[in-house]
Copies of this chain bind each other. A is one copy, B any other.
Amino acid sequence: MPTQLRHFEEELDQLKSKLLAMSALVEAAVYRSITAVVQKDRKLAEEVLQNEVRVNQWELEIDDQAISLLALQQPMAGDLRLITSAIKINNDLERMGDLAVNIAQRAIALMDDPMVQPMIDIPRIGGLVQQMVRKALDAFVARDVELAREVMTSDDEVDSLRTVFFQELISFMQNEPAHIPQALNLLSIVRTLERIADHSTNIAEDVLYYVKGIDVRHRAEAVAGAGSKEPRG
């Protein structure tokens, strides 16, 4: 193998390793933030806040390396898809890291507040979202298209759990107006979990694009004229 090519392969491997390190950090942040809410664990919440700087540093490093690979080399087909997917996945991971920070902050806000209301479905929604994060990242590592599709299916499940949760929360607030601020914190946590789920779905879509060259964003809807949803349909 010519030296230049070997060098390129090494840099690609490095890029993948960095993305894995970043995803391990973000996965841990999501796990800790959910556990901090459910188990009222202040230490875990604080760890999430402390680790954010590291997540952000990885984001910059990965971006810089990906862009320099695009600039200095002339990657083709599969490699090009890997690098552009890496840029997108990196972006999603960083946002998931920020969302975990938001949850950790809510966990701290709720810490000294005796829970007057059972947390209803938060542990269940949280568990499901955590699984989605893990599966999306595993799908990327293993180039596993089936696993990526499972992530997309779970997203619908999160949406329907969320709907039930909202109904229950509205009744609770109407019956216990004094506890509305607490209820709004729970609402915010569930919305944030939903957004983490959406980012996992984005990553799953990127895996499909990277492995198969299929771009699943909006393709069906462009034909059917159906709507999409945030962050990315």
Residues of chain A having any CB pair with chain B under 8 Å: 49, 52-53, 56-57, 59-60, 67, 70-71, 74-77, 80, 84, 87-88, 91, 94-95, 98-99, 101-102, 166, 170, 173-175, 177-178, 180-181, 184, 187, 191, 215, 217-219, 221-222, 225, 227-233
Contacts and interface: CB of A to CB of B under 8 A. Distances in A.
Contacts of A95: 230-232
24 contacts: A52-B227, A52-B228, A53-B218, A53-B222, A56-B217, A56-B218, A56-B221, A56-B233, A57-B222, A60-B215, A60-B222, A67-B80, A67-B84, A70-B84, A94-B232, A95-B230, A98-B231, A98-B232, A98-B233, A101-B228, A170-B181, A174-B178, A174-B180, A177-B177
A57 B178 contact: no
A177 to B, nearest CB: 4
A101 B228 CA distance: 9
A53 B95 CA distance: 25
Give chain A's interface secondary structure class.
Answer: helix
Given A74-B74, A95-B230, A98-B233, A217 B60 contact: yes
B98 A218 contact: no
Contacts of A60: 215, 217-219, 222
B174 A53 contact: no
Contacts of A67: 80, 84
A221 B98 contact: no
Nearest to A217: B60
Contacts of A166: 184
Given A56-B218, A56-B221, A57-B218, A98 B228 contact: yes
Contacts of A173: 173, 177, 180
